Copies of this chain bind each other. A is one copy, B any other.
Amino acid sequence: MKPMKISEAVVRRLPVYLQVLNDLNMRDVQTVSSQELGNRLDLNPAQIRKDLAYFGDFGRKGIGYDVTYLIEKIRQILKLDQPLNVGLVGAGNLGRALCNYNTYLKDNMKITAVFDVHPSMVGASINGLTVLPMEKLKETIAERNIRIGIITVPATEAQNVADKFSEAGVDGILNFAPTILRVPEHVRIHYANFTTELMSLAYYLDEEGDKENDETVVD
């Protein structure tokens, strides 16, 4: 399926390309140059050409990329042409917010089960999904062929949930709890950490120079 080992940086850019391409497609744009993609994404067009060249010879000189063809190719590469079921533990604000993304997940990727560790949350309905108790995790993951687990519980509970997901047989975990987790070798874990996002953004702020002075009024 995959022609070669692709760097994680490229894999992380592909969904972003897909997002822009879907947007162009919705507006009936038929071809797009690497220059235009670069402008929209604030990326070097040469970088984009290089990224996409990993997957074959998509572009045509002077014309650019065929939008629908490129969408189809990226979807294949990311395996979005196959159903992918996702389970989530933690029906708090963040978990609820993520379930609402199901609307955007037009592809086959979908949150198909929600769990919570607190009995008081069990039975609640979120975007059409009924919150299940943790005791149902293993059987539900098997029954619904859930391959990715999302963790949206507090940091202190996250390792326990990661263990349960791993035991239940998921292949990947997306962890939103602000803590590093240990998982077995065969489980791939990604971190979606709000604070690290903010911190890496903060790094860049001074590059433009402080416009005024640095006095800060704290609330």
Contact = CB atoms under 8 A, between A and B. Distances in A.
A98 interface: yes
Contacts of A192: 192, 194, 197
A195 interface: yes
A158 interface: no
Which of A2, A14, A104, A215 has the largest count of B CB atoms less than 10 A from its CB?
A104
A190 B196 contact: no
Main secondary structure of the interface of A (DSSP, over half): mixed
Given A101-B195, A144-B219, A202 B23 contact: no
Interface of A: 1-2, 8-9, 11-12, 14-16, 18-20, 23, 40-42, 77-80, 82-86, 92-94, 96-98, 100-101, 104-105, 109-110, 112-113, 129, 143-145, 147-148, 150, 152, 155, 169, 171-172, 174, 178-180, 182, 186, 188-208, 211-212, 214-219
11 contacts: A14-B199, A41-B180, A82-B214, A82-B216, A93-B97, A101-B194, A104-B178, A144-B219, A172-B201, A188-B205, A190-B200
